[in-house]
Structure 1
Amino acid sequence: MIRLGLRLAVAGGREALVRLVAIAAAVAVGAGILLATLAGVNATNAQLTRYASLHPVATTGGDADPLWWSTRRDYFHGRQILRVDVAATGPDSPTPIGVPRTPGPGEYYASPALRSLLDAYPADQLADRYAGRDVGTVGPAALPSPDFLLVIVGGRPAEVAALPDARQLTDVAASGPALPDTVVDLILGVVAGGLLFPVLIFIGTATRLGAARREQRFAAMRLVGATPRQISAIAAIEATAAAAVGTALGFALFLAGRGALADIPFTGMPYFPADLSLRPLDALVVALGVPAGAALAAHVSLRRVQISPLGVTRRVTPRPPRGYRLIPLALGLAGLAFAVGRRPNTADGQTAVYLPTLLLVMTGLVVAGPWLTMVGARLMAARARRPGTLIAARRLADNPRAGFRAISGIMLALFVTSTATGVITTIVAERGPAPIGSVEAATLTTVLGEETTSVPGPLLAELRAIPGVRSTTVTRKLENPHYYASVVRCADIPPAYGRCAGGATVAEVPVDFIPFRSSASADRVWTPASVRVEDLAGLPVESIVVGTDGSAAARERARTVLEAAYPTFWVAPNVPGNFEADFANLLRGWRQLADVVIVVSLVLAGCSLAVAVVGGLQERKRPFSLLRLGGAPVGVLRRVVALETAVPMLAVAALATGMGLLAAHLFLKGQMHYALTPPGPSFYALVVAGLAACLGIIAATLPLLERVTGPETARSE
């Protein structure tokens, strides 16, 4: 059987050879993308692991001298700089990962990306924050990404011990907990699933290429005595041979493009090429799973031959799908709705709730697709006024599974895209950085971590002397702070941030004049405070707010001056949104991941669509030829092919987009208590462009119809 199957696969004439090459090429593309997806997940996990290693947990015990360690966040031009202050307490203190020795007082190591910034900008904007001697470069072992900004600063034990979140370590390899929260895990899972589903559909569609033609040949073999087991073996060998060749080519494509993939910032930061690797289990799953899946697809495509070879000749209409196919979709949506107000307290519990339910919704869309296609086809047939429309509708209604198979990849692509984009758009709107050009983006605030009732006059004078600085304001702590966390003299409030009510002398204000989830406004009237103006000087200083003209140079010079004046800061002087700079970077990464999902998924869906349309034409070339001989114009046949693909595709696109935004809304309400912020016009433009490209693919296959439906094709074989 093996020899016969291989002979039929490679020596079955031009048609068999073309089919073999087409299947191998399609599987190569799918396997290459599948390998890149798995490697990307591994690389992302490596990034997150090294990021977690920069937040080690305190360790004690052993004979080693402890190492003092404090991790803080600094900012430059909106980018986060991770600053690690260390101090060895003895010769046996552990050495931080990525550097040859622990830096001493007045020494620091900088990552390559940070060193480029230090060389590119004036010292008063960045380098003066790390007064001392540059003793070397942080190695890749400590960096999540080649573009990561990291500085390891040496100090004295007493100085580092006084810094916020200082801890003693006897083992620097004891990483802290995984930094990404449930949202990150969810996005990665949905992205991986969103790419895997179209890949598998594409491979399955390609494997089924020419299925009807092979059904007839295998049915003839059944009629002359071949058993169902023998037919299954031959079909599996033919499909496995093509898939094995395609899988090997997929590995070659992945290895050839790995270096280029590493440079693409899928998560907001590029990968190290070594991180974009495959685990042995990943390679084994793809190497064995893809050919096995191809063999299974071949077996399923020939199931009518297994039942009865005469059924292939008669082309018996398959049973219509039933309404119970909606159950998985309903269960997935119900799971998301049930989680609203019942979010688990732990990150693992949240992941266990949201990830399976979203994947269940995706599976439910695929399972319900044939039933939805059948219902839509019957509605189209009931309203048909032209022969082409009626033929297309009747064909879809007779075999909705085959009609949906061609567009299932598009459904999943749009669902994943809509879900990811809805989540990202809402989080950006709720927690994103200050808009460029706004008053918020021009405001720099430092919250003092030390108790003091005065700010040195020379410091304020130095800040005001910086070109671009327009105001400096000192706020004071309230004894019982609430939403408005500090107080300030009304005369000191800059006009850009509002004013006091008539007759008030002291106002209650946020520490940076920016109300929570609101914007600065010159028209804002602040609530009067019960503190007397003469008592302000005795209250502790809460913050120093510096208003600038919005230029990056003014902000960074002011930040450098403030860090030098208050070196024990918990969070560096920041612009609203800087505080979550790492989260903002993840947002940008998610947006890029969403773009990757959109592009790759629609490309795969388009390829699946092209393969399905061409395969359908090949399978129906004899019926179409008979219609042409009976007087049907080629234009009518083209309309049939276009309608039976385009109409369900557009309907499914609307459904998938709506389901994706609904799933995003339910997730946001349950996980973050946010209402969905609708995506902007660019999202819908991208969806329309993708669907237009798919319609173009359909149109590109139509000229093939006239060539394969000539009179010679109508002959009986």
Structure 2
Amino acid sequence: MSIRQWSRDLSMGVRFAFGGGREGWTRALLTAVGVGLGVALLLLSTSVPNALAVRHDRDKARADHTFSQPDRPKADNTVIVADANTTFGERDVRGRLLEPEGPRAPRPPGVDRLPRAGEMVVSPALKDLLASGDGKLLRARLPYRISGTIGERGLVGSHELVYYAGAEGLSARLDRSSVARITAFGDTVAVTVERTDPILILLILVVFTVLLMPVAVFIAAAVRFGGERRDRRLAALRLVGSDSRTTRRIAAGEALGGSLLGLVLGAAFFLMVRQAAGSVELMGVSAFPSYLTPSPALALLVAGAVPAASVLVTLFTLRGVVIEPLGVVRTAKPARRRLWWRLLLPLAGLAMLYPMVGQGRDNGYFNQYLVVGGVMLLLVGVTALLPWIVEAVVGRLGAGALSWQLAVRRLQLSSGTAARTVNGIAVAVAGAIALHMLFSGVEGDYTKPTGQDLQRAQMQVSLDRGAIGAVGKFRSTKGVRSVTQLSDIDLGDRRENPDQGVPLTIGDCTALRELASLPSCHDGDVFAVTGAEPDESWTSTARPGRTLYIDPSYEGSPGEAIAWKVPGTLRHGTSVDGLLGYRRGGLMMTPGALPPGAAERATTQLYLRLDRSVPRAEEYVRNTTAGIDPMADATLWSSTRESKRFASIRTGLYVGAACVLGLIGASLLVSQLEQLRDRRKLLSSLVAFGTRRRTLSLSVLWQTAIPIALGLLLASAVGLGLGALLLRMAATSVRVDWASVLAMSGIGAGVVLVVTLLSLPPLLRLMRPEGLRTE
């Protein structure tokens, strides 16, 4: 067969799709909408690499300092930068204090003019938040006048909260790790390439495969919309002399026309979503429309693969249909579906994944081709097995109510159509169950206990030296029940460059009892607390009568130490589990024992108990903290700490799953409307003969419920198997969270139920006697 003949037949099919009157246009539009939704999501997926790269580049371009960068002398092209980050509710606020030291001081990206002292430039999202009623507490924390907004070049997301504020006197605090003098933004950070965890790479591969497979399934189903009506129309072509092969190619061309229109609609849907992306934030992630630019190579791949798939799928589905001049042979009992080749797909997937069982993170990276190929074959196996299962089950169903009998008979006549409708849901649920098992199984490796005792404190505030009077301010803060103050300071055996150091903790008797079991305590007492570590060599240094030096100086840190003699009345105590979950030893003294000037040199930690009956009590604490020192850190305690990379992958999964669920719902609704349109005359005939509309509505519900129940059972089995295999690949014990399995299945069933309810109004309109009218 020549290429010219193929081209001629395909082009004739395209003309039939758009020149066949209302019937042809309707089918082409339904196909185009289904394909377009899938293409839009594929284009969004191909935009992800570029979006991640742009976010990384912009974050790198505004980088200002690290904890290990070299000191720079003051010049006319330097600016001092200090971290002033904060948190408002669940959202992080990126803040920087800037003090330019000359006319050529560098500006952060997106900032046209450096703010003066008392001014700040903010991101558009932060400006809107501060102007709203919800931002009243945050406005009190940022007492600067807004003098401008940060441009898109200086932000990684459209909803990011960022500000740059002008400050003075930062040069006196250059000894802090969060303050630095720089000459440019973006080129001062030494990039350290970390080895990516192989388990995280496995998670990323599986997430992308699981999210994109339902899209491919829906596109394959969309090109088959209106298949029965199309096949009947093709009989007319046989009547005028077309052979069977030519007829199939013309049918493929008709599907090609719908898919080409679907590409146009998909591009339009993508542009609409792209434009709306700037005003949407999902799971704390936002982007600018310019981020969502598909890779040209991937976009061309989508543009070529979708039409090619429409042709191949149509030819594949027509292989068992006999199109004769007098009609389509569908009324005869079809041959039973064969099971053996359907089992080959999941078995091949298992064979690809099995060699990596037990590999874990210690044996190198997982083979990405085997991982993607194995997961794809297992999920494709769901689409191959489901039609066989539906046919086998509905063939054994029988007696019941009239609505049940109507539904069962319809399923027995077109079980393949019913299976195609729920294939995407089944694939999505199977992938979701496997992913949830994998995430739950490895979560313990990326979520560690902090040791913070939430019964004794709920917030911690870290203050720099000289935080005198801070305790009183926090005690008078709204929502604070009690404050425990503990201060730390260096203690050495010499004024400069000491050989031996002694840990020294300062606090009143109540605070010290949070760290140690003490005898009677009064202000002015000093204690030697042991039992924290096996090595307690400091005890020989801190002998009674010996002179030690508070805040000794080291090379590069000028200062004058304060001499202090260890008192002969040194008392002893035993370390206990502290507020942070570990034991602390060394010397501990009450404020009355401190020599003059020592308190101003100590670094202070405040541990706060909050009154949970006060709404947003933590925000009042953060406001007080910012009033004392904008660079101070106020941390809300939690029992666990999660890896940021692991959390970002999980957030990406949630965002992608939300998009896929939207596609599932929209595509199912289009498919349901297409099936109802094909049955319009049948439904109208049944109503004309006296069938109640309630009975027909229930039959439509049963026609959806039976396949989805079978699909969810198959999806649960495949999902559990795939999840167990992935856990074994990660060298993790297999655990099944049955509540999550039921939740995933319930979400899938819920989507189908919502789509069915939305299709009831069109169904009622189709069940009118006017539906018998024909042209």
| TM-score normalised by the chain length of structure 2 | 0.66
Aligned residue runs from structure 1 range 510-525, under 5 A: 510-512=578-580
Counterpart for residue 412 of structure 1: 427
Matched, 1:237 2:253: yes
Deviations 1:55-108 (A, max 9, x none): 468799xx9967766667422333212234566677666532121355677765
Matched, 1:18 2:26: yes
User: What SS is found at the alignment partner of 2:225?
Assistant: coil
Give the number of aligned pairs: 675
Q: Which of 609, 618, 621 pairs up with 1:555?
A: 618
| Cα 1:591/1:291, change in 2 over 3 Å | closer
The CA deviation string for residues 488-518 of structure 1, in whole angstroms up to 9 with x for no partner, is 98962699x9998999976533445xx6xxx
For residues 408 and 377 of structure 1, the distance between their equivalents in structure 2, rounded to whole angstroms, comes to: 14
2:510 corresponds to: 492
Residue by residue over 1:18-77, the C-alpha shift from the partner in whole angstroms, topping out at 9 and shown as x without a partner, is 3334333433444445445555775465445434544468799xx996776666742233
Higher Rg: 2
- 2:478 is aligned, of 458, 467, 470, to 467
* Residue equivalent to 2:385: 371
Instruction: Kindly indicate whether the alpha-carbon contact (under 8 Å) linking 2:506 and 2:589 is maintained by their aligned counterparts in 1.
Output: no
Q: Residue type matched to 1:374 in 2?
A: W
Aligned to 1:247: 263
Show structure 1 runs of 5+ residues with no match.
480-484, 516-526
SS across alignment from 2:26: helix
Q: Displacement, 1:564?
A: 6.2
Q: Confirm or deny: 8 A CA contact 2:454 2:637 kept in the other structure.
A: no
Q: How does 1:295-374 map to 2 (within 5 A)?
A: 295-304=311-320, 313=329, 317=334, 320-323=337-340, 325-326=342-343, 328-329=345-346, 342-344=359-361, 349=365, 357=371, 360-361=374-375, 363-374=377-388
Supply the distance in 2 between the matched residues of 1:225 and 1:193 (Cα, whole angstroms).
Answer: 45
- Inter-CA distance 373–311: structure 2 relative to 1 (3 Å threshold): same
Which residue in 2 is equivalent to 1:519?
A: none
Query: Using the alignment, how far apart are the partners of 2:373 and 2:667 within structure 1?
Result: 19
Judge conservation of contact 2:124–2:150 (CA < 8 Å) in 1: yes
The residue aligned with 2:671 is: 608
SS at the partner of 2:109? Answer: coil
Contact 1:83 1:151 in 2 (8 A): yes
- When residues 561 and 17 of structure 1 are mapped into structure 2, their CA distance, relative to the original with a 3 A threshold, is closer
Asked whether the 8 Å contact 1:9–1:238 carries over to 2, the reply is yes
Q: Report the CA distance shift for 1:15/1:591 in structure 2 as closer, same or farther (over 3 A).
A: closer
* Structural mapping, 1:124-523, within 5 Å: 136-153=148-165, 156=170, 159-160=173-174, 162-164=176-178, 172=186, 196-215=212-231, 218=234, 221=237, 226=242, 230-256=246-272, 258-281=274-297, 283-304=299-320, 313=329, 317=334, 320-323=337-340, 325-326=342-343, 328-329=345-346, 342-344=359-361, 349=365, 357=371, 360-361=374-375, 363-375=377-389, 377-379=391-393, 381-382=395-396, 384=398, 401-418=416-433, 443-447=458-462, 458-475=469-486, 492=510, 508-512=576-580
Instruction: From the superposition, tell whether residues 186 and 399 of structure 1 become closer, same or farther in structure 2 (CA, over 3 Å).
Output: farther
**Matched residue SS, 1:602:** helix
* Residues 480 and 611 in structure 2, CA contact (< 8 A), matched pair in contact too: yes
Distance 1:151 1:509, change over 3 A: farther
Which position in structure 2 is the counterpart of 1:652?
711
Task: Name the CA distance, whole Å, in 2 between partners of 1:266 and 1:477.
Answer: 42
Shift of 1:545: 0.5
Q: 1:178 to 1:614 in 2, by over 3 A?
A: farther
Matches of 1:18 and 1:113, distance apart in 2: 44
CA positional deviation for 1:138:
2.2
Aligned position for 1:76: 88
Structure 1 position 532, deviation (Å): 8.2
Once the two structures are TM-superposed, the CA of residue 387 in structure 1 deviates from its matched residue by 11
SS in 2 for 1:302: helix
Question: In structure 2, which of residues 750, 760, 764 is the aligned counterpart of residue 689 of structure 1?
Answer: 750
| Superposition deviation, residue 408 in structure 1 | 0.5
The match for 2:608 is: 546
TM-score, with normalisation over the residues of structure 1?
0.70
- Pair 535,57 (structure 1): closer, same or farther in 2 beyond 3 Å: closer
**CA shift digits 1:369-408 (9 cap, x unpaired):** 3334424643554575569989987997898655422210
- Counterpart-to-counterpart distance in 2, 1:7 and 1:56: 60
Is the 1:340–1:666 contact (alpha carbons within 8 Å) kept by the matching residues of 2? yes
Alpha-carbon contact 1:488-1:507 (below 8 Å) kept: no
Contact 1:487 1:529 in 2 (8 A): no
In structure 2, relative to structure 1, the CA distance for the partners of 1:598 and 1:386 (3 Å cut) is same
Change (3 A) 1:663 1:708: farther
User: Per-residue deviation at 1:652?
Assistant: 1.2
Separation (CA, whole Å) in 2 of partners of 1:158 and 1:371: 71
Higher mean alpha-carbon deviation, 174-183 vs 467-476, is at 174-183
Between 486-495 and 401-410, the greater mean CA deviation after superposition: 486-495
Superimposed CA distance per residue, residues 140-184 of structure 1 (whole angstroms, 9 cap, x where no aligned partner): 211122321223356756745632495856561688579998899
Contact between 1:362 and 1:412, CA under 8 Å: does it hold in 2?
Answer: no
Distance 1:215 1:578, change over 3 A: same
Q: 1:254 to 1:40 in 2, by over 3 A?
A: same
Task: Give the alignment's Cα RMSD to 1 decimal.
Answer: 6.1
Secondary structure class of the residue paired with 1:407: helix
* Other structure's SS at 2:13 match: helix
Paired residue type of 1:508: V
Q: Counterpart of 1:141 in structure 2: which amino acid? A: R
Residue 146 of structure 1 aligns to a residue in which SS?
coil
**How far does residue 208 in structure 1 lie from its aligned partner after superposition?**
1.8
Secondary structure (helix, strand or coil) at the match of 2:337 reads coil
Q: Is the 8 Å Cα contact of residues 163 and 568 (structure 1) preserved in structure 2? A: no
Q: Deviations over 1:262-288 (max 9, x none)?
A: 322124244323334445445544444
Change in CA separation of 1:382 and 1:311 when aligned onto 2, cut-off 3 Å: same
CA distance in 1, matches of 2:124, 2:697: 59
CA-to-aligned-CA distance 1:169-208 (integer Å, 9 cap, x gap): 6561688579998899878776665564444433433322
Contact 2:78 2:181 in 1 (8 A): no
Cα drift, residue 650 of structure 1: 0.8
C-alpha separation in 2, matches of 1:665 and 1:466: 51
Change (3 A) 1:129 1:427: farther
Structure 2: gaps (5+ residues):
1-7, 491-502, 521-571
Q: CA deviation at 1:457?
A: 5.2
SS of corresponding position for 1:266? coil
Residue 472 of structure 1 and its aligned partner are, at CA, apart by: 1.2
Question: Residue type of the partner of 1:252?
Answer: A
Aligned to 1:576: 638
**C-alpha distance in structure 2 between counterparts of 1:181 and 1:318, whole Å:** 50
Instruction: Indicate how the Cα distance of structure 1 residues 412 and 639 shifts in structure 2: closer, same or farther if over 3 A, else same.
Output: same
